[in-house]
């Protein structure tokens, strides 16, 4: 088995790893996402793949974020006829995101290519996390829950390795983290999801993301009641004291749904030891203006309270429905109703999806106290129009809920708000992005690598690949992993080596990089670079 990292080796987007199982002639990808950022980064989305898509039999998808899945239709367009393995929730959300991407016209594929994807939902039928799924003889994969977003999973690929010394055939494995969520078993502080699993104790290789490899998040941002207090105080002060409106730009996938859950939590809290945290003098009117987010709410209604074979929730953080005095199915039904475009009334909360295009914010501005709108960075979509209409009034408040990239409209508004030389009237800004981050920080990443959850059998030395991060984050995480590995704490995984992922072939059987391409691989490289098909080569050789 060999691995080559194609994407997310020079940043946090474009995730894609290419694996070859030579014993069965199987080639597979883990994720196939788009590059995001400056124009030179996005240009990579149009470069030739380093492989022939027709040679790929499987794409193993970790989750539905576009930097992990959005180039799959391009694979199909260029000859991929294999299967995409993922959870049912990831499949249903990815279909919506890929359709949205195709309709925007910024990609090299159309809706026809999206429709041609062959999906295999790993969790349909009898399912438990860690279930072994056979791909080929001597090659299998297992999916394990991540707390990153709904449907997200890490995956472990296992293969047989024949020995030359007459010993029995060995199994080796490599675990891909995907994006690591922030929830802990003892502190699921974000409202919707359970904590994620740890990698197998006997994993030979771990591939670990490093988005926040150099960041230790302050404890306040990991406390649910602090987040809810901040949100409640902001709404009460803006809406009922100043008579203004709160704009919450939010990503359509997962961030919007978590904000909705928080608003329900604030207004419908049924716990015996606390009164509802939100005590406005009249019902709070909330508008949801995002066609894509509304459709994704319907998927949440379908999958959020799904259960595995043992009857436990597959994803759902059961603390939330218990606190609200309702069942998980009842809470899922709220998302289902929103997904159908229906208004929902719960206690002192009125939630109403806005129908109509991005350029029609007037009804929500007139009728809503709080507006949840896409896009999260305010560059386009309804959020852009709401910011234009509401951003110049000091009575209003902009609440950031996610990352704002340099040059985006949302980021510029934040910078202007912090600039004392700009005296024109403008809305207040409340920064809540760190409270909602769905990525684990450095402490969480280290725990993911080293925590064995008490297991002591069949432990192995593990090689760790660090990818999916900026240079500083990766280097900082490598240093921290080296220090902890050297300390050899009781109960920790034994880490024998830490490598920063690059685009060279690494032989997972020998544990070494391969210096040269085989003649077959060299021929394929030349064919790709010159745009030649196998038929072209046959004609040239005649």
Tokens 């078993």 sit on residue? 185
Do 228 and 190 meet the contact criterion of CB atoms below 8 Å apart? no
Structure tokens at 223: 């406390």
The answer to whether residues 186 and 244 belong to one domain is no
Domain boundary among the residues 404, 436, 468 is at 436
The answer to whether residues 455 and 430 belong to one domain is no
What are the angstrom distances between the C-alpha of 181 and each of 153, 177, 438, 447? 10, 10, 5, 12
257 within some domain: yes
Structure tokens at 524: 């394929």
* The pLDDT of residue 380: 87
The answer to whether residues 337 and 448 belong to one domain is no
The answer to whether residues 133 and 71 belong to one domain is yes
Contacts of 195 (CB under 8 A, 6+ apart): 147, 181, 183, 184, 185, 188
Give dist(CA 432, CA 447) in Å, integer: 25
Contacts of 510 (CB under 8 A, 6+ apart): none
Do 211 and 402 meet the contact criterion of CB atoms below 8 Å apart? no
CA dihedral 468, 470, 471, 477 (to 10 degrees): -60
Bridge-based pairing state of the strands 506-507 and 512-513? antiparallel
The answer to whether residues 418 and 430 belong to one domain is yes
CA 144 and chain centroid, separation: 14
pTM over 0.85: yes
529 within some domain: no
Q: Show the low-confidence residues of the chain (pLDDT under 70).
A: 38-41, 165-168, 269-276, 357-363, 516-522, 525, 528-530, 540-542
* The pLDDT of residue 147: 97
What are the angstrom distances between the C-alpha of 476 and each of 176, 443, 531? 20, 12, 40
Tokens 């475009």 sit on residue? 341
* The pLDDT of residue 115: 98
Domain carrying residue 371: 223-436
The answer to whether residues 182 and 227 belong to one domain is no
The answer to whether residues 136 and 259 belong to one domain is no
Domain boundary among the residues 436, 463, 488 is at 436
* The pLDDT of residue 430: 97
The answer to whether residues 199 and 51 belong to one domain is yes
535 within some domain: no
The answer to whether residues 489 and 385 belong to one domain is no
The answer to whether residues 62 and 190 belong to one domain is yes
The domain total for the chain is 2
Cα–Cα–Cα angle for 338, 84, 148, rounded to 5 degrees = 50
The answer to whether residues 200 and 246 belong to one domain is no
56 within some domain: yes
Residues pairing with 316 in the sheet: 193
* The pLDDT of residue 167: 67
Here the CATH number for the domain that contains residue 456 is: 3.60.15.10
Question: How many residues are there in the chain?
Answer: 542
């Amino acid at each position: 088995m060999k691995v080559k990292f194609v994407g997310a080796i020079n940043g946090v987007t474009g995730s894609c790893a290419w694996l070859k199982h030579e014993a069965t002639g199987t080639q597979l990808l883990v994720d196939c996402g788009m590059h995001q950022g400056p124009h030179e980064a996005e240009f990579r989305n149009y470069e030739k793949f380093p492989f022939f898509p027709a040679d790929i039999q499987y794409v193993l998808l970790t989750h539905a974020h576009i930097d992990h899945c959005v180039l799959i239709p391009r694979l199909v367009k260029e000859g991929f006829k294999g299967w995409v393995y993922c959870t049912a929730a990831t499949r249903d959300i990815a279909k919506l995101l890929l359709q949205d991407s195709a309709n925007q016209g910024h990609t090299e594929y159309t809706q026809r290519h999206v429709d041609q994807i062959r999906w295999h939902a790993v969790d349909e039928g009898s399912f438990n996390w860690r279930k072994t799924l056979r791909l080929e003889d001597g090659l299998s994969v297992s999916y394990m829950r991540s707390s990153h977003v709904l449907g997200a999973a890490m995956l472990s690929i296992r293969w047989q390795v024949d020995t030359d010394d007459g010993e029995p055939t060995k199994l080796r494995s490599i675990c891909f983290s995907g994006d690591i969520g922030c929830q802990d078993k003892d502190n699921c502080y974000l409202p919707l999801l359970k904590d994620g699993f740890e990698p197998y104790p006997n994993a030979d290789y771990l591939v670990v993301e490093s988005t926040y490899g150099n960041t230790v998040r302050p404890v306040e941002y990991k406390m649910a009641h602090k987040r809810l207090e901040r949100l409640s105080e902001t709404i009460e002060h803006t809406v009922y004291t100043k008579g203004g409106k709160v704009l919450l730009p939010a990503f359509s996938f997962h961030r919007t749904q978590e904000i909705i859950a928080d608003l329900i939590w604030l207004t419908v809290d049924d716990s015996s030891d606390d009164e509802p945290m939100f005590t406005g003098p009249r019902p709070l009117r909330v508008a949801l203006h995002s066609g894509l987010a509304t459709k994704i709410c319907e998927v949440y209604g379908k999958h959020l309270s799904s259960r595995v074979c043992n009857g436990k929730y597959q994803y759902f953080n059961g603390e939330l429905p218990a606190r609200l005095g309702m069942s998980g199915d009842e809470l899922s039904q709220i998302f289902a109703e929103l997904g159908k475009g229906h208004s929902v009334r719960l206690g002192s909360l009125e939630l109403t999806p806005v129908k109509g295009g991005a350029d029609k914010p007037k009804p929500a501005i007139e009728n809503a106290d709080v507006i949840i709108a896409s896009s999260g960075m305010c560059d386009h979509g309804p959020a852009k129009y709401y910011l234009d209409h509401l951003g110049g009034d000091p009575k209003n408040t902009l609440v950031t809920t996610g990352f704002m990239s340099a040059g985006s409209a949302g980021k510029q508004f934040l910078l202007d708000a912090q600039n004392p030389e700009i005296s024109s009237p403008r809305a207040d800004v409340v920064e809540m992005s760190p409270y909602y981050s769905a990525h684990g920080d450095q402490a969480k990443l280290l725990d993911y690598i080293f925590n064995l959850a008490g297991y002591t059998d069949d432990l192995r030395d593990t090689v760790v690949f660090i990818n999916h991060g900026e240079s500083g984050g990766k280097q900082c995480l490598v240093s921290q992993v080296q220090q902890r590995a050297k300390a050899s704490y009781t109960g920790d995984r034994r880490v024998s080596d830490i490598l920063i992922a690059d685009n060279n072939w690494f032989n997972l059987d020998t544990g070494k990089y391969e210096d040269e391409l085989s003649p077959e691989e060299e021929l394929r490289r030349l064919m790709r670079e010159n745009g030649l098909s196998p038929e072209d080569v046959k004609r040239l050789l005649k």
